[in-house]
Structure 1
Amino acid sequence: MALLITDECINCDVCEPECPNDAITMGEAIYEIDPARCTECVGHHDEPQCKVVCPVECIELNPEWKEDEGQLMAKYHRIVAPA
């Protein structure tokens, strides 16, 4: 699954630079995660780095983007493939 930042986000700016897929950007009110780019850090790290650094624990699984480990790895390969 891709991840989702909830309304509890305090805009502390620590998650955005940690995302190896550039999936996190500032939205209108809080940071947002692009589910098409989020691999939960599969291919890069053992656990999602945004969740590791989030001080308010406002990042959770996005129920609208159900993906298994294989699908996340395939997405990772598409993202890092040379253009």
Structure 2
Amino acid sequence: MRNQKETAAESQTVKDGSRFPWAGELPVTEVSNQGNAMIGILTTVPVNGYGGATFRSVTIQPDGTWTATGEEEPVIIPLLK
């Protein structure tokens, strides 16, 4: 288990938008789905925190830096209760 200091540093790194706390390939998970998944960043957020939004795909370089690329795509952010 990571300590709070490491977790806070990772959160700040991701929050500033310039670098992920890890570099290289994404970890492989044992999740099964019936559709496609992409890593992206919201470019327009829903007013109430859920509903229609737009995002751009994220390209992650081997050094951990990332760039939002491509066209804005429409997405729906569900209401979570």
The TM-score with structure 1 as length reference comes to: 0.25
Higher strand proportion = 2
Q: Which has the higher contact order (CA 8 A, sep 6+)?
A: 1
Larger Cα Rg: Structure 1 or Structure 2?
A: 2
Higher helix proportion = 1
